[in-house]
Amino acid sequence: MRKILRLLIPQNLKIRLHKWLQAKQRAIKAPKMLRGFLDASGKWRPRTCISDTVFIDHPDRVFIADNVFIWHYTILDGTGSIEIEEGAQIGAWVGIFTHSSHIAIRLYGNHYLEIPGDLKKGYFIKKVKIGRYSFIGAGAKILPGVSIGKGALVSAHAIVNKNVADFQIVSGNPATVKGDTRKLDAKYLKDPQLREWYEEWQKN
């Protein structure tokens, strides 16, 4: 039967059919960026773009300002509340965590699920804040209680367990300070228009 089909269907038609089918499959399965977001405050953020693959736990505690970009397969754990300020960009496969049960699970053993989270000993819940126009690189992990300053840059795959000051560049595990984004940006600011816009968001 296959031999007959091979004779009846020309090779170039088979190739075109395969290409068409694969294009349709990719279009269906491919992650998409969704423009606009209704954040926990009830405000519509028209310029915010968030991938349809981003997982938001406790969305009622995740506050996202406008002009924010969050790429594919990122996790936002809103247990202890997350605040993402205007213009922040978050790469793919980033994890922002606001709770940890790494001690509580051992303390309670089989009784872990019997105790509400906010009453468990050794169960940490702390807010995370991501500052204005900061950048979180792909694969980075932000741990509970961390605050990332405005204009900061967290390198790809960094594990951030301490606060990052405004404009700091951090990388590594655990993340340590490697530089200052203002030095990185200086060569571009000879353009008067760019300098005006750069200074504008820092005033507000």
Distances (CA, A) of 166 to 9, 154, 202: 64, 11, 11
Residue 144 has pLDDT above 80, yes or no: yes
**Contact, 155 vs 109, CB < 8 A?**
no
SS3 165: coil
pLDDT value, residue 118: 78
Q: Which amino acid is at 185?
A: D
Ranking 5-9, 32-36, 183-187 by mean pLDDT, the lowest is 5-9
Using CB atoms within 10 A of its CB, is residue 1 exposed (0-12), middle (13-18) or buried (19+)?
exposed
SS3 31: coil
Cβ–Cβ contacts within 10 Å for residue 50, how many? 22
Supply the pTM of this predicted model.
Answer: 0.86
pLDDT value, residue 15: 74
pLDDT value, residue 20: 79
pLDDT value, residue 116: 86
pLDDT value, residue 30: 83
